[in-house]
Amino acid sequence: MAAINLCTAFIASRVIDGFEHTISQLVALASLMPIVAGIGGNTGNQTITMIVRALHYSIFSRVTFRS
């Protein structure tokens, strides 16, 4: 799991590097980046929690993901 986090963090840093010129012009964007990253992480955790809960209570089956 740590390797996946490391890879995604590397990809995110490369994307941010691509917007270096824009960020240097609008410094306020730099202060919002950790907030956006945190919101994305929270959304992912909530999504995984709901999927695991739905699988536990048989709301849908694993076959649903294959179609």
- How crowded is the C-beta side of 2, counted as CA atoms within 13 Å? 0
Q: In sequence order, what are the residues at sequence separation of 6 or more whose Cβ sits closer than 8 angstroms to the Cβ of residue 30?
A: 23
pLDDT digits (tens, 9 = 90+) for 9-37: 888 888 888 988 988 898 888 888 888 88
User: What is the Cα gyration radius of the chain?
Assistant: 17
Residue 21's alpha-carbon distances to 5, 12, 14, 40, 64, in angstroms, are 26, 16, 13, 24, 43
pTM of the model as a whole: 0.52
Give the pLDDT band of residue 56 (cuts 50, 70, 90): confident
